[in-house]
Amino acid sequence: MNVVQATLLGALLGGIIGVVGTYLGAIRIANKQFLIDAGTKFRAAFHDELATLKAQEKIDAINILESAFKKHLIAISEFVRRLPRCKRATFNQAWENYYCHPATKIQHLVQYDTVTGSTDQRKKNRELAIKRIEHILSFSK
């Protein structure tokens, strides 16, 4: 192989490596943008309920959260598809902790009852709902 052939081969390999690198970089940027967009939509799906829970002392948290549950479930299913695989198990656990009874694993938003019980218990339940929603939303940052 002479110098001209080696130079051409080097240029060709360099070009191929550059194209592949650019392609992979573009894919990575596009995936990151998809995650950012999905995260924005995801946070928006919980915004009203979280704001209501934070702003008002006397609310019916169960009714608010149950009314929005379908919207939240849709947002969850769209967002989890964009979440990196390494974070999905932890995310799914946080979602399950939010909407399931710890012992039975059955949908159970009654744990956020802010209508009955003592004032302290109602406050704790509201704070628990806020904490769990914020934990779910932390995956979108």
Quick check: helix, strand or coil at residue 101? coil
| pLDDT at residue 129 greater than cutoff 90 | yes
Task: Give the domain extent around 63.
Answer: 39-140
Identify whether 81 is part of a domain. Answer: yes
Q: What per-residue confidence (pLDDT) applies to 125?
A: 92
Identify whether 1 is part of a domain. Answer: no
Identify whether 23 is part of a domain. Answer: no
Identify whether 106 is part of a domain. Answer: yes
Identify whether 61 is part of a domain. Answer: yes
Mean pLDDT of the 51-62 span = 89
Query: What gap in Å lies between CA 127 and CA 135, rounded to an integer?
Result: 12
* Dihedrals phi, psi of 115, to nearest 5 degrees: -110, -40
The 10s digit of each residue's pLDDT in 4-23 is 788 888 888 888 888 888 88
Query: What gap in Å lies between CA 73 and CA 79, rounded to an integer?
Result: 10
Tell me how many domains the chain contains.
1
The 10s digit of each residue's pLDDT in 29-49 is 877 888 888 889 999 999 999
Residue 140 neighbours by CB under 8 Å, 6+ apart? 38, 39, 40, 42, 43, 79
| Inter-CA distances, 10 with 1, 3, 61, 126, Å | 12, 10, 66, 65
